[in-house]
Amino acid sequence: MKISVAIDGPAAAGKSTIANIVAQKFNFMYINTGAMYRAVTLMCIRQNISYTDVNRVCEVTKSLKMHFEGEKLIVNGEDLTESIKHPTISNTVSNYAAISDVRKLLVKLQQQMAGEYNVIMDGRDIGSVVLKNAPLKFFLTASPEERAKRRYNELSEKNISVNYDEILNDIIKRDHIDSHRSSSPFVKAEDAVEIDSSFLSLSEVVQIISSYIKKYIEEHR
Ligand code: DC
């Protein structure tokens, strides 16, 4: 039986960093679904395709062969891991992710991956839609200010020029679009364990999630 772990939460809550560490610890495949929506956005921007041109966005989505290699996202043979983190993509990805047909295509792909491997998948609709039956669901959150501070530090360390207030505004705007779209809006699954990481260190959050996974594995040996 394959084990699926779902981690949902708002923008910049630290989901990908934490999911990646936990995945390595348990030797699970880490699937960063936000990266998949970002890849669609990047490929559309490269071809000047607006999110309002739904048919062309769907054509692009269908043309993408995506797979993960550890933390890396490879799309049509190209490593897009770093380029999709750029603020240009962050600013507009919510608009592409709100397209219902794009969601259907990516959700299908995500479910196929979870059928083949033990996975830790993070995103916005994992516990509520993609892996509705996952035995382990987490909802990771932190205050918008704390999330903006962390994203600011992360981008500054990579020498990407950023402004704290712009990041905070972008996070608030993205949370709003993600939570108010008509197609699978971002919600906390009823059976998810909520973890507010505002006052927790990275390793404390990793430890909390790991303890649930260990317990589950022991009980289902
Ligand atoms: O987690 P992230 O910031 O990389 O996500 C990028 C965008 O994609 C964000 O606006 C929310 C959206 N998203 C989504 O709608 N559903 C998911 N499962 C993952 C991300």
Give per-residue pLDDT as tens, 159-207.
Answer: 888 899 999 999 999 999 999 999 999 999 999 999 999 999 999 999 9
Q: Give the mutation target among 41, 129, 132, 178 for probing the ligand 1 site: most ligand atoms within 8 A of CB.
A: 178
Instruction: Note the maximum CA span of the chain.
Output: 51
Q: Examine the pLDDT at 1 and tell me if it is beyond 80.
A: no
> From the alpha carbon of 177, which atom of ligand 1 is closest?
10
Q: Report the separation in Å between the CA atom of 220 and the middle of ligand 1, taken as the mean of its atom positions.
A: 31
The CATH code that applies to domain 32-116 is 3.40.50.300
Q: For the chain, which residues make up each domain, given as ranges?
A: 1-27+117-213, 32-116
Whose Cα sits closest to atom 20 in ligand 1? 34
Q: Report the separation in Å between the CA atom of 181 and the middle of ligand 1, taken as the mean of its atom positions.
A: 12
Whose Cα sits closest to atom 13 in ligand 1? 34
Mean pLDDT value across residues 8-36: 96
- Reading the block at residue 209, the tokens are 């999630």
Dihedral of the alpha carbons of 159, 15, 32, 152, in degrees to the nearest 10? -20
- Reading the block at residue 130, the tokens are 């993609």
Residues framing ligand 1 (Cβ under 6 A)? 11, 33-34, 37-38, 93-94, 97, 123-126, 174, 178
Per-residue pLDDT of 124-172, as tens digits, reads 999 999 999 999 999 999 999 999 999 999 889 988 888 999 999 999 9
Query: For the chain, where are the E strands, in sequence order?
Result: 4-8, 29-32, 66-69, 72-75, 78-79, 119-123, 136-141, 193-196
pTM: 0.94
Cβ burial 205-221 (10 Å sphere, 16+ → b, else e): bbebbbebbeeeeeeee
Same fold, 1-27+117-213 and 32-116: yes
The CATH code that applies to domain 1-27+117-213 is 3.40.50.300
Calpha distance 149→218 (Å, rounded): 37
In the chain, % of residues over pLDDT 70? 100
